[in-house]
Amino acid sequence: MSNVYMMAAVADRKRAPDFLELYKAHQVEVSFVLLGHGTAGSDILDCFGLESAEKTLMLSIVTEEVWKTLKKAMEKELKIDVPGTGIAFIVPLCSIGGKRELLFLTENQNFVKGEETVLKGTTHEVLLVIANQGYSDMVMDAAREAGAAGGTSLHAKGVGMKRAEKFLGVSLVSDKEIIMIVTKTREKNAIMKAVMEKAGLESKAQSIVFSLPVTSTAGLRLIEDSEGEE
């Protein structure tokens, strides 16, 4: 996939609506919002004159051109380049399960689909499965049948879900679970296919799945060693 990225932004929770409004003004209609808590030490907070605050993590899919425009807008309108205001970054997208899903996530961004790309030298990818709340077991059952070892589930809110019926022919609820699964690159297609077939849009989970490159891993040695012995 060419020139498509997952954009992540972290900001104080009270400022999240400002970010989402700016996104919408720049054709980023769909985002997934997770809640967190800042962990900066008191000395760092004192240095910048800040208070410990609840944080929001916002995940969106953007094209390269939209990112460039939105980055300038965040710096100009939200002052994101001022320390303590927030941070934003992008990670290249390797693949996404389904053309409709891709159009849904990149509406009005003038995206033209290219070939799937993989960073050179990467042997693993992380699959992000966005499913309706309460259906992580359905997702993981499908993923394990295709060879996945395990995953981690996080609660999230979907923004722009009302538009799903236009592209996907289904109505998606806003309460979401994001299931993260680290897998070998050579196995990711089978896992994505299994999730789409058994926990995809036609199921109660109504999952959307995409993958991001992983440049290095730790903690998978026992699995890899056992595979080597076989």
> By C-alpha distance, which of 195, 206, 178 is closest to 141?
195
Both tokens assigned to 14:
């009270």
Q: Is 53 exposed, middle or buried (0-12, 13-18, 19+ CB in 10 A)?
A: middle
Cβ pair 62, 31 in contact under 8 A: no
Q: Is the pLDDT of residue 182 over 80?
A: yes
Specify the pTM: 0.82
Q: Which amino acid is at 209?
A: V
Q: Is the pLDDT of residue 53 over 60?
A: yes
Long-range contacts, 40-43 (Cβ 8 Å, 24+):
none
Q: Is the pLDDT of residue 116 over 80?
A: no
